[in-house]
Structure 1
Amino acid sequence: MDIPRIFNVTESAHRIHNPFTPEKLATLGAALRLEPETRVLDLGSGSGEMLCTWARDHRIGGTGIDKSQLFTEQAKLRAKELGVADRVEFIHGDAAGYVADEKVGVAACVGATWIGGGVAGTIALLAQSLHTGGIILIGEPYWLRLPPTEDIAKGCLAGSISDFLMLPGLLASFHTLGYDVVEMVLADQDGWDRYEAAKWLTMRRWLDANPGDDLAKDIRAQLSSEPERYAAYTREYLGWGVFALMAR
């Protein structure tokens, strides 16, 4: 079980697999007013930076599930590096359908809502692991401005314009599902640049080290096209944020 290899290559040097900077991640942790010993479930936990830094800074505990074997191993190493391996655990597995054995205070899916087939399904899945009065965290893209054509939406790596909402519409959709939005932290342009541009150096160094690899042609094509695509489309049209929800 693993994610497509190309993602393990392009994001192998990332600690955060979304457009958040470490400062934004810290802002989110502080905004949630986390109490020590709060249990956090993170579906699609990537390299574990959220759980590990919050365990260090707020003394929470938690479990992360991720389908990438590489990212899961990186998360375990990060937990040891920060001295929190006794507080957090990381499981290599499919987070789709995962429900915690014991209820948690925060249930999160930060940037991987395909796990539940979309936002509504992911919220329903997370709710199964949540204490009454707990907080759900959803990380999701939204349109900064509506793309004028479907081709521009596809340039942002969306399937169509309808894949994402404008920010007011996204917030309204949470209300429709029966949740209050109690906090949000939004990525900024620097966060997007750090997430996307960091891939380019990783790809170039990987190509230099693996010229004969079967994946080299695909990596070369991506490196040749991604800077321009990102600058023309994603950077101009797409936002991203983490939204804290509580059931009404």
Structure 2
Amino acid sequence: MTDHDLPPRLGSLTFHGPLSESRATRMIERLAAASPATVLDIGCGWGELLLRTLEAAPGSTGVGIDINAEDLARGRLVAKERGLANRVEFVEESALGTTRGPVDAILCLGSSQALCDPGLPHDPAAALSELRRLVRPGGRVVLGEGFWERTPTDDELARMWPGATAADHFLLPELVDLAIEAGFRPAWIETAGREEWEEFESGYRYDTEVWLAAHPDHPLADETRARVDRQRAGWMGYRGILGITYLTLVPVG
């Protein structure tokens, strides 16, 4: 069995999260206005936002860290295609306790769990403390973090991911308060809209769904179909209840 026999992975996504082109452009413009010399992307995936930030901030250099080798290889290829290979490094390593700071700008979109002890429940306060440690005075952090649009009911939680509880996320005001307590000022607060979520969630599965339709009897079809059906059911469960906020944070001097 060759790679061509296998279902494709995430090829229809530009960003690994519910993030529109227009929102990404505005985020990058705000980051670039601070003239960062060094940029760190935690849980970078293939680093699309990192690469665009480097393009918008001439002379800057960046490091993207992740534990997914396939995504990192995609990032290196795209960096080479865009003439950025000499300004960016994609590294396969854990972000837990990383020494890759302090830097001028940090991207951490949907990846704050990488900064937390994996043996404990996810703790946004601990992640924010780490981000504060890793950013220089006068720098910027863009944090993409899940939050409850409203407190979910038990029935709603049962339709989400296995073991979902109301304690898995905070409400947005609580999350913003945690950022302030960690030593930041929330310079910009925005949240993904329904269209961004639908673009992401559908794009996440699109290539695989098309592959399943074309290969219903493939040896991997049953396993792949079950996985994708679970993912879709989870989204249907948290759709309109789980949000994601993008916080542009400035450390207090």
TM category, shorter: 0.7 to 0.9
- Counterpart in the other structure of 2:56: 57
Match of 1:245 among 239, 243, 249: 249
Shift of 1:137: 2.4
1:189 positional shift: 1.1
Aligned length: 236
Q: Deviations over 1:137-159 (max 9, x none)?
A: 2210111122122x413434372
Match of 2:166 in 1: 161
Pairing 1:21-170 to 2, within 5 Å after superposition: 21-36=20-35, 38-59=37-58, 60-100=60-100, 103-117=102-116, 118-149=123-154, 151-157=155-161, 159-170=164-175
Contact 1:56 1:83 in 2 (8 A): no
Q: C-alpha displacement at 1:26, in angstroms?
A: 1.2
Q: Is the 8 A contact 1:144 1:238 kept in 2?
A: yes
8 Å Cα contact 1:45/1:64 also seen in 2: yes
Following the alignment from structure 2 to structure 1, what is the Cα–Cα distance between the partners of residues 160 and 62?
33
Q: Give TM-score, length-normalised by structure 2.
A: 0.82
Tell me the C-alpha RMSD between the 2 structures. Answer: 2.4
Q: What letter is aligned with 1:54?
A: T
Structure 2 letter corresponding to 1:240: I
How far apart are the structure 1 equivalents of 2:157 and 2:63?
35
CA deviation map 1:167-213 (0-9, x unaligned): 11211221222321112332111111111001222222444459213
Counterpart in 2 of 1:212? Answer: 219
C-alpha distance in structure 2 between counterparts of 1:41 and 1:105, whole Å = 8
The equivalent of 1:234 in structure 2 is: 238
Deviation at 1:35, TM superposition (A): 4.0
SS at match of 2:240: helix
Q: CA deviation at 1:86?
A: 2.1
Q: Residues 185 and 85 from structure 1, CA distance in 2 versus in 1: closer, same or farther, beyond 3 angstroms?
A: farther
> Aligned pair in 2 of structure 1 residues 134, 189: CA closer, same or farther (>3 Å)?
same
Structure 2 vs 1, CA of residues 222 and 178 (structure 1 numbering), >3 Å: closer, same or farther? Answer: same
C-alpha distance in 2 between matches for 1:64 and 1:112: 12
Identity in percent: 24
Q: Distance in 2 between matches of 1:70 and 1:167?
A: 33
Q: Which runs of 5 or more structure 2 residues have no equivalent in the other structure?
A: 1-6, 117-122
SS at match of 2:33: coil
CA distance in 1, matches of 2:189, 2:82: 26
Q: Distance in 2 between matches of 1:125 and 1:12?
A: 32
* Counterparts of 2:54 and 2:250, CA distance in 1: 22
Aligned to 1:224: 229
In structure 1, runs of 5+ residues without a counterpart are: 1-7
TM-score computed with the length of structure 1 as normaliser: 0.84
Determine the C-alpha separation between the residues in 1 that align with 2:11 and 2:127. Answer: 26
SS across alignment from 1:19: coil
The answer on whether the counterparts of 2:158 and 2:164 sit within 8 Å (CA) in structure 1 is: yes
